[in-house]
């Protein structure tokens, strides 16, 4: 067995069933296969399709089946959730930390919502980053934590998350619904 496929042995299969999210699954797959050639990535993708997703792939033309880009586009069209930028921006605007949700997990959720809301933005775009930082800080459940993070005037989501996590960890916030970072 080739080294590349050993990396995928414990990776979740994609079936397209039970509300399995194609976008999230494919982002994880791309991250896991970043060093793969396009051919190996296509082979890896096919090895992880099962159920309805595999049946759908089998129904595609040979030209589509032989191209990673065309296969991904077809799977996205069939299993992706087409969310337009306005919907994603509305979700980002209303994002809130859930009871019991760790600060780092909330930051990850905000980061993902930001990617969906501004899909064409360059990494580190200052206006997008400012919006994401603002949504993270304003979405924190604990008002005292929110105010303390605001006073630090974080320039990035990572900085805001680090400030919040340190404040929680070092006991500046004692509310029962804020978990320690992991």
Q: Over 60: is that where the pLDDT of 161 sits?
A: yes
* pLDDT for 155: 92
Q: How many CB atoms lie within 10 A of CB 140?
A: 24
| DSSP 8-state class, residue 37 | -
Mark which of 79, 94, 128 sits at the end of a domain: 79
Q: Which domain holds residue 107?
A: 85-169
Q: Over 70: is that where the pLDDT of 160 sits?
A: yes
Q: What is the mean pLDDT of residues 29-35?
A: 86
Residues β-bridged to residue 14: 49
Q: What is the mean pLDDT of residues 39-66?
A: 93
Mark which of 33, 64, 79 sits at the end of a domain: 79
* pLDDT for 24: 80
Question: What CATH number is given to the structural domain containing 117?
Answer: 1.10.1200
74 and 97 share a domain?
no
* pLDDT for 5: 61
For residues 16 and 79, the answer to whether their CB atoms sit within 8 Å is yes
Q: What is the pTM of this model?
A: 0.59
* pLDDT for 177: 47
147 and 165 share a domain?
yes
Least-confidence region, from 20-34, 76-90, 143-157: 76-90
Q: Over 90: is that where the pLDDT of 106 sits?
A: yes
For residues 173 and 142, the answer to whether their CB atoms sit within 8 Å is yes
176 falls within a domain = no
72 and 89 share a domain?
no
Mark which of 79, 109, 125 sits at the end of a domain: 79
């Amino acid at each position: 067995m080739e080294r590349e496929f050993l990396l995928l042995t414990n990776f979740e299969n994609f079936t397209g069933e039970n509300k399995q999210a194609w976008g999230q699954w494919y982002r994880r797959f791309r991250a896991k296969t970043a060093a793969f050639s396009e051919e190996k990535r296509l082979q890896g993708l096919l090895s992880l399709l099962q159920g309805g997703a595999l049946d759908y792939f089998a129904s595609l033309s040979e030209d589509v089946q032989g191209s990673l880009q065309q296969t991904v586009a077809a799977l996205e069209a069939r299993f992706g959730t087409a969310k337009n930028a306005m919907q994603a921006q509305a979700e980002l605007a209303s994002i809130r930390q859930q009871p019991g949700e760790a600060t780092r997990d909330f930051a990850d959720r905000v980061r993902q919502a930001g990617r969906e809301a501004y899909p064409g933005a360059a990494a580190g775009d200052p206006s997008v980053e400012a919006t994401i930082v603002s949504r993270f800080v304003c979405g924190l459940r604990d008002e005292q934590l929110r105010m303390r993070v605001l006073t630090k005037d974080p320039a990035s989501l990572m900085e805001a998350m680090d400030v919040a996590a340190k404040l929680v960890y070092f006991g500046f916030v004692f509310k029962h619904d804020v978990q320690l970072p992991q």
